[in-house]
Amino acid sequence: MAYAAKGGMENDALAISEAKIPLAQAVTVAEQHANGKASRAEYENSKQGWVYDVEVVSGAKVFDVRVDADKGTVISSAEDKADHDDDHDKQD
Tens of pLDDT, residue by residue over 5-46, are 444 445 667 888 889 999 999 999 999 999 999 999 999 999
For residue 89, the model assigns a pLDDT of 44
Does the residue 89 lie in any domain? no
For the entire predicted model, the pTM comes to: 0.75
Residue 14 lies in domain: 9-84
Give domain status of residue 22, yes or no.
yes
pLDDT of 83 > 80? The answer is no
Would residue 3 count as lying in a domain?
no
pLDDT of 78 higher than 90: yes
Strands ordered across the beta sheet of 61-68: 37-46, 49-58, 61-68, 74-79
Residue 1 lies in a domain: no
- How high is the pLDDT of residue 48? 83
**How many domains, in total, are found in the chain?**
1
90 within some domain = no
24 falls within a domain: yes
Q: Is 59 left (phi over 0), alpha (psi -120 to 50) or beta?
A: left
CATH of the domain at 25: 3.10.450.40
